[in-house]
Structure 1
Amino acid sequence: MVYLVHVQHPFNNYVYPAGAGLHTAAFAASSVVESVKKAQAEVSAKILQRAISICKQNMVRAETLIFQGDSKDEICKAAEQTHVDMLIIGSRGLGGIKRKSMNFLMVAFLGSVSDYCAHHACCPVLIVKPPKHIK
């Protein structure tokens, strides 16, 4: 079984004005909040649907999970909660630290998150770099 994980960044329904009254916050209308949440759900569904179709084409059983929060923390929590044997995480090479080899059952595509997961996940971690022509 492969767990395909997508982590959404939490939506703050408030903004701080840049003009006078810098110590006040303006809150977004509930329709804006719902619109953003709906858009996030659609993006997550689209990403995970593509991953599921790839798994089906290769006859791999897969389940999708969507979390909201800080990616690195949520991925490590998901690995622990699902009791996976290995965490597989993609690296776009955007982080400051690059490593030659890392120690596999989830997929995520983030930058320095992979380095955090390599050090904090409860299981072995495999970091997959993209092909050179994709960078």
Structure 2
Amino acid sequence: MRVIVGIDESDESFYALEWATNNLFNGIVGGEPNLVTLVHVHPPSKRYGVAPSAIPAGPGVTAALPSTGVVDSERRAEEQISAAVLSRALEMCSNKVKAETLIVEGDPKDMLCEISEQMKVDLLIVGSRGLGRIKRAFLGSVSDYCAHHAKCPTLIVKPPAKD
């Protein structure tokens, strides 16, 4: 069985991974070990394709852009966050399921659906933050979007109820 688990910095995504490793993967299915791809999607970097640190924005007006050092620093910070998140997720998978990692850039809801289609996965697993209707309408919901747009079955793992 080929599975993708969407992982971000949230406790809900790690709970979804924990739930999946404890409840779905029981060693070997059909003689083949399960393979889980842990996918972390980070937002696009604010890369500016202009070499100088300032460009003309109109008559007598100059717009400042971040230097390449700032952009490189931002990219390194994103890579460190992704590495830390996926390292923690890989540790959770050890001795339970074979796992690989993938880091992509873009909108998480779009990228998870796109990757699951490209990789022809059997199941996409995402956590749920438990947003109410109003917050979900304004903020959007990755899990809701994936449930409606992914071309494979999608499992949304809700966190345990808080007392």
Higher relative contact order (CA 8 A, sep 6+): 2
Quick one: distance in 2 between partners of 1:25 and 1:125? Answer: 45
2:69 corresponds to 1:31:
yes
Identity fraction in percent: 57
Equivalence for 1:11? 45
After TM superposition, give the deviation of residue 67 of structure 1 in Å: 0.6
Relative to the length of structure 2, the TM-score reads 0.63
Residues 12 and 132 of structure 1: CA distance in aligned 2, closer, same or farther (over 3 Å) = same
Count of aligned pairs between the two proteins: 115
Instruction: For residue 87 of structure 1, give the secondary structure of its aligned residue in structure 2.
Output: strand
Equivalence for 1:104? none
Relative to the length of structure 1, the TM-score reads 0.76
Unmatched 5+ residue regions in structure 2?
1-34, 49-57, 135-139
Q: Which has the larger radius of gyration?
A: 2
Unmatched 5+ residue regions in structure 1?
15-20, 98-110
Equivalence for 2:117? 80
Q: CA RMSD in A?
A: 2.6
| Structure ranking higher in helix proportion | 2
2:148 corresponds to 1:119:
yes
Moved over 4 A (4+): none
